[in-house]
Structure 1
Amino acid sequence: MALSPSLRRTLPIVLTLVFALLLGVSVSLVQHPVAFLAWAVISLVATAAASIFCWRALDEVAREAHKTAWMWGGSFGMVVAFLAFIAAEHHWPHLLETGLGGGRSPADLVELGLIGVVSAQLVGYLLVWAGWWIAKR
């Protein structure tokens, strides 16, 4: 069965988002450690397979856009996040502790840092990716 060109472009993206969403849901819903690990591995393998399928469907220009956006946007976003956390720690030492309701464990703060850095990387990626396509059009 041959897929139409529009379905061939959209299906991998939808599958990747669905599998990533399932992985996120598994973090909060699956309580048993072995069941969580199995669910996480299945979700990660399915997400990787859908991502590879999506990557192979792209032409060379689109691949270059993604690689450039991740390198420059992701790197810049990571630096911005690190500088923001360092500035918050030195200039506003109680911002993180009281801004989160206080009483957070070190593990909670590490999780906050990871989410903050990955979020900043994604924002940087999206900005550079959009800029790439605006510049090429």
Structure 2
Amino acid sequence: MNDQPIRKRRRLGYLGMLGVCALLGLVVGFASALIDAFGGAATELLQTGMLIASMAVVFWICVVWWRGADEAVREAHKWAWYWGGSAGIVVIIVVLGLGTWDVIDLVPADYSGDPSDLVLTGAGLTLGVQMTGYLIAWAAWWLRHR
């Protein structure tokens, strides 16, 4: 049983938190571009430090938001991540299976770039498909519970 007092709803709701995170992303992107232009030998170190610091801030924002969310909102997000994220992983597994069986070609024939770019593309694709599944499941949960 949680014996903490019930908190008042914060003025900055879900969209406000998303806006704060988007603003932080814009600031970090702009600062990264400035570091690229003027950073010199410390460019990678500065960008890595800035990325770590900004992700810590975003994580803190998420914790603050989660603590202020009511039970229905929490349940919607947990349900959406479980089912939507799982569906996204199924899509990625199908793509990997089709690539393994040579049904589709996962690497373009004329690709001459760095192999790490393919790994980053795969990770980004996986997260993108999971987030898409999450958003669809989240919307479905709210439509079903209205």
The bucket for the TM-score relative to the shorter chain is 0.7 to 0.9
8 Å Cα contact 1:12-1:53 kept in structure 2:
no
State the distance in 2 between where 1:43 and 1:17 align: 11
State the distance in 1 between where 2:50 and 2:88 align: 30
Deviation at 1:53, TM superposition (A): 1.6
Deviation at 1:6, TM superposition (A): 7.7
User: Could you say which structure has the larger radius of gyration?
Assistant: 2
Deviation at 1:88, TM superposition (A): 3.7
Q: What are structure 1's unaligned runs of at least 5 residues?
A: none
Deviates more, 1:114-123 or 1:12-21: 12-21
Deviation at 1:18, TM superposition (A): 2.5
Report the residue type matching 2:138 in the other structure.
Answer: W
Report the residue type matching 2:94 in the other structure.
Answer: L
State the distance in 1 between where 2:83 and 2:31 align: 30
Deviates more, 1:63-72 or 1:83-92: 83-92
State the distance in 2 between where 1:41 and 1:26 align: 16
Q: Counting helix residues as a fraction of each chain, which structure ranks higher?
A: 1
8 Å Cα contact 2:32-2:47 kept in structure 1:
no
Partner of 1:59: 70
8 Å Cα contact 1:26-1:36 kept in structure 2:
no
Partner of 2:103: 91
Q: TM-score, normalising length from structure 1? A: 0.80
Which residue of 18, 24, 29 maps to 1:19? 24
State the distance in 1 between where 2:27 and 2:81 align: 24
Secondary structure of the corresponding residue to residue 68 of structure 1: helix
Structure 1 residues 41, 133: CA separation in 2 closer, same or farther (over 3 Å shift)?
A: same
Count of aligned residue pairs for this structure pair: 130
**What is the CA deviation profile of residues 70-102 of structure 1, one whole-angstrom value per residue up to 9, with x for unaligned ones?**
111111101202312331452123x5314xx62
Secondary structure of the corresponding residue to residue 91 of structure 1: coil
Give the aligned CA root-mean-square deviation in angstroms.
Answer: 2.5
Deviation at 1:108, TM superposition (A): 1.1
Identity of aligned residues (%): 28
Which residue of 78, 83, 93 maps to 1:72? 83
Q: What are structure 2's unaligned runs of at least 5 residues?
A: 1-8, 37-42
Q: TM-score, normalising length from structure 2? A: 0.75
Deviation at 1:106, TM superposition (A): 1.5
Deviation at 1:20, TM superposition (A): 4.1
